[in-house]
Amino acid sequence: MDQLMARSMKAYQSKFARVIQDTLALLFPIMLLGSFAEVLKYSFLTPSGFVATVFGVTKWLPAARQISQLLGLIVHCTVDMIALYGAYGITYCTVKAYGRQTSAMSGAIGLLAFLMAAYQPHSHGRLLFNSTLMGQGLLIALIIGYIVGRIIVAFEKRRALRSYQIIWPLLLVVVFSIVVNVVVSLTRSPEVQSFISSTALHAVQASALSYVIGMGLLTDLLSWMAVGGPFSASPTFTDPAALTNLNHALKTGSAFNAPFKYTDVTLFHSFANFGGNGAVLAMIIAILVFSKRQRFLTVSKWSIFPALFNNNYAMMLGIPIVYNPIFLIPFLLAPLVNMLVAASFLALKWIPAAVYPVPSGTPGPLIGFLGTNGNWLALILGAVLIFVDVLIYMPFVKLYDRLDRNRGEQ
């Protein structure tokens, strides 16, 4: 642990790490606002939402539909466009850290570069952007913005840049953005998507358990990298495996012998996704119990409400968790342990598979309980797994406390 502390301290103090941290700090309040709005919209003010279903909020709250629309506007302008703000922020912070002068113009150029990379040509000439890249492409936005920032700094060191002298770095940025746009377009081609789908199908047929665990870990890893993963979406219970499981349970009156025991719903969403990817709810509890750093405590207190409804966006940027090597291990280990334990319980038929649909925005610990039609052992298992996850996060929270304290003393 001391060796990890020394290496982390060295990386933590680098100029590049400071650029990333400053950028994420800029994005935190935007994402926090979006997280609250998303939870309120989909869990409280959507008729199929968890809180709306339990308390009938949409039936007695005046103007519930109008409020939901306003919250949707906030979600679209924050969560669904977070990469846009990231491109601006990291370009500005990069020029500030590496250059001799800082200008809002640098952030605007980074914003331009990302918009050009995310633009989608349309036959009708409409202005369209890649929505996936805008909402789940923060990593790509940070890479683009950082490169743009370094380009600006390189030209700045040769001569003082003013608005009329920035044309050369701007032209270079435009060419770079066009290349990125072409690469992104190629990855979205039908041929590439077909290859990915066929590969996934063969993997499912070969071993369902290893596929779900592998895709679950990949989802958590990509989430740590601020990229959407294969299991990032909330459980829909509408895929072929889920429908087959549900039909079997309705016909036989039991979910113990479900045809597909190991799916993203029965393992990942039901037992490994407490508080969002990485079992972040356990991390929040660990910070509130073991951390002494006021900043971490404040971020965790603000983030606990959305995390209860499986929204971890604010926590990911506020601590931050993304691109933080210290939290990568527990971020992957906690869900892995949960999935393996849950798979063992399913194999031994101690709990049934979660085959019954649950309302959108259902708190993570309740998905397994409600999805099994109220199996109490599934609820107890979820509570035990949260406790285990807290223990997994505990040493890393203490280590990060020491790291942050040592940096503050220097």
Domain boundaries, the chain: 12-188, 191-409
Q: What is the C-alpha to C-alpha distance for residues 392 and 331, in angstroms, rounded to an integer?
A: 9
> In the predicted model, what is the mean pLDDT of residues 180-203?
58
pLDDT in tens, 60-95: 999 899 999 999 999 999 999 999 999 999 999 999
pLDDT for res 31: 95
Q: In the predicted model, is pLDDT for residue 193 greater than 50?
A: no
> In the predicted model, what is the mean pLDDT of residues 21-29?
93
Q: In the predicted model, is pLDDT for residue 332 greater than 90?
A: yes
pLDDT for res 144: 92
Say how many C-beta atoms besides its own lie within 10 A of residue 291's C-beta: 20
Considering the chain, what is the average pLDDT of its residues? Answer: 85
pLDDT for res 157: 66
State whether residue 128 is helix, strand or coil.
strand
More confident: 8 or 173: 173
Say how many C-beta atoms besides its own lie within 10 A of residue 207's C-beta: 12
State whether residue 63 is helix, strand or coil.
coil
Q: In the predicted model, is pLDDT for residue 195 greater than 70?
A: no
> In the predicted model, what is the mean pLDDT of residues 304-314?
93
Cβ atoms of residues 307 and 276 within 8 Å: yes
- Band (pLDDT 50/70/90 cuts) for residue 3 is low
Lowest-confidence range among 1-15, 69-83, 192-206?
192-206
Give the pTM. 0.88
pLDDT for res 131: 84
Lowest-confidence range among 99-103, 339-343, 406-410?
406-410
Joined together, the tokens standing for residue 265 give 């719903």
Instruction: Provide the CA 105 distance to its chain's centre, in angstroms.
Output: 29
pLDDT in tens, 235-266: 767 778 888 888 988 888 888 888 888 988 88
pLDDT for res 395: 94
pLDDT for res 197: 46
Q: What is the C-alpha to C-alpha distance for residues 145 and 109, in angstroms, rounded to an integer?
A: 9
More confident: 305 or 125: 305
- Band (pLDDT 50/70/90 cuts) for residue 206 is very low
